[in-house]
Copies of this chain bind each other. A is one copy, B any other.
Amino acid sequence: MKNIITISREYGSGGRLVGRQVADALDIPFYDKELIALVAKESGYDLKFVEETGEYSASSNILFNLATGSMANYIAYSETPMSMADQLHILQSKIIREIADTGPCVIVGRAADYILREREDCLNVFVCADIESKTKRAVEYFEIAPEKAEKALKKKDKARAQHYNHYTSQPWGVPSTYHVCVNSGTLGIEGAVKIIVDAVKTDNAK
B185 A182 Cβ-Cβ under 8 A: no
Which residues from chain B contact A178 at a C-beta distance below 8 Å?
A: 181, 183
B181 touches A175 (CB 8 A): yes
Q: Does residue A24 face the partner (Cβ distance < 8 Å to B)?
A: no
Does A137 count as interface, using CB distance less than 8 angstroms?
A: no
A 2-13 binary contact with B (CB < 8 Å = 1; else 0): 000000001000
Bin the interface of chain A by size: 20 to 34
Docked CA distance A32–B183 (Å) = 25
Cβ contact within 8 Å between B182 and A180: yes
Distance in Å: Cβ of A120 to nearest Cβ of chain B: 10
Closest to A131 in B: B176
A28 to chain B: which residues have CB within 8 Å?
none
A176 cross-chain contacts in B, Cβ below 8 A:
10, 128-131, 183, 185
